[in-house]
Amino acid sequence: MFKQTSLFKIPIPFLGTFEEINLRFYVKRIEGDIIKRGVVFINETVPYKMVAWLANKLYNEHYISIPTKNHIMKHTTKKNIRYDWKINKNWNHLALNTMTEQEQMLPGSIEEFIFEHYYGYTKINNQRSQEYKVNHPRWKVNKVIDYSIHCDFTSMYGNDFSFLNNQKPDSVIIAEGSPVTVNWKRTQF
């Protein structure tokens, strides 16, 4: 969930809170003695055409706009979280039931590997990419009780990802998240 999103510290009226469904992979870039752990987004899906257009124009990202919705219900000890998106007239979803209690990520865990990335990388063209810095505190995680995934990966991401239509995930994890800032300065390489 993007909540109270702003651009150059100016809130985006009416469009500041929305779902984002994305497909990404994880990378590391070595610069001298520094290892920069980052993400590359293959696709980012949001409900608002204006948000997708702005992200694509300002940041050279790969956003698309399709209908999305969410349902988040917190109980005393459990949470029910569901994100839905509609592509080719069919609704897809990702749903989780989790414990409400938050836990620290363990060093060396899959949670740490997934959530502890502080750089993003975007392809500019076949020869150039850009790097940007992402800022957030170390997140806490919730224990996943069960999950449900229904995604037409072929329609959503293309034939290269159709093999995922019949795959079960190796892991299902969730973090509460926090406010996040992205540095405007981009480095090209």
Domain membership flag for residue 93? yes
Give pLDDT tens digits along the chain (189 positions).
888 777 667 777 777 788 999 999 999 999 999 999 999 999 999 999 998 998 898 888 889 999 999 999 999 999 999 999 999 999 999 999 999 999 999 999 999 999 999 999 998 888 999 999 999 999 999 999 999 999 999 999 999 999 999 999 999 999 988 888 888 788 888
Domain membership flag for residue 1? no
Tokens of 70: 């969410």
Domain membership flag for residue 120? yes
Q: What domain range includes position 101?
A: 6-188
Looking at 12-94, list the stretches that DSSP marks H as alpha helix, in order from N- to C-terminal side.
Answer: 49-59
SS3 50: helix
Task: Find out whether 64 and 45 touch, Cβ atoms under 8 Å.
Answer: yes
Number of structural domains in the chain:
1
Q: Considering the entire predicted model, what is its pTM?
A: 0.86
